């Protein structure tokens, strides 16, 4: 009976896992429960709130946006370099063909 109850709780937790909203308090609460370090949990909560007040986004959203922006810059830079290389190769090929 105890195994069945544990299995049911595990399945319910698995299916309802997506229902947990990310909030500024969730991370510090997990830190407090796992480590028992109140100072670390308080610092984490304070940092999350400061980022939220400054940017209007949660810490996770802010970091995701920054990473996406950096990836877009790299993609634009790569695209420009690729087009320059392609154009140079086309011109080189045209010169070889026109010499023959």
Nearest to 43 by CA among 17, 35, 21: 35
**Are 31 and 39 spatial neighbours (Cβ–Cβ below 8 Å)?**
no
Neighbouring residues of 45: CB distance < 8 A, sequence distance ≥ 6? 24, 25, 27, 28
Residue bearing the bigger pLDDT, 86 or 31: 86
Rounded Cα–Cα distance for residues 24 and 44 (Å): 9
Reply yes or no on whether the pLDDT at 46 is more than 60.
yes
Q: Percent of the chain, pLDDT > 70?
A: 74
The confidence band for 14, taking pLDDT boundaries of 50, 70 and 90, is low
Reply yes or no on whether the pLDDT at 22 is more than 70.
no
Average pLDDT over residues 46-69: 82
What pTM was estimated for this model as a whole?
0.40
DSSP code at position 22: P
Phi then psi for 36, rounded to 5 degrees?
Answer: 75, 10
- pLDDT at site 1: 58
Helix axes 38-55, 26-35, angle to 10 degrees: 170
Reply yes or no on whether the pLDDT at 15 is more than 70.
no
């Amino acid at each position: 009976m105890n195994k069945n109850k544990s299995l049911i709780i595990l399945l319910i937790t698995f299916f309802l896992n997506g229902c947990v909203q990310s909030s500024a308090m969730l991370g510090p609460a997990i830190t407090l429960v796992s480590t028992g370090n109140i100072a670390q949990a308080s610092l984490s909560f304070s940092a999350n709130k400061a980022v939220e007040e400054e940017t209007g986004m949660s810490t996770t959203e802010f970091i995701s946006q920054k990473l996406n922006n950096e990836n877009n810059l790299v993609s634009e830079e790569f695209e420009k370099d690729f087009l320059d290389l392609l154009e140079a190769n086309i011109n080189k090929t045209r010169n070889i063909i026109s010499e023959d």
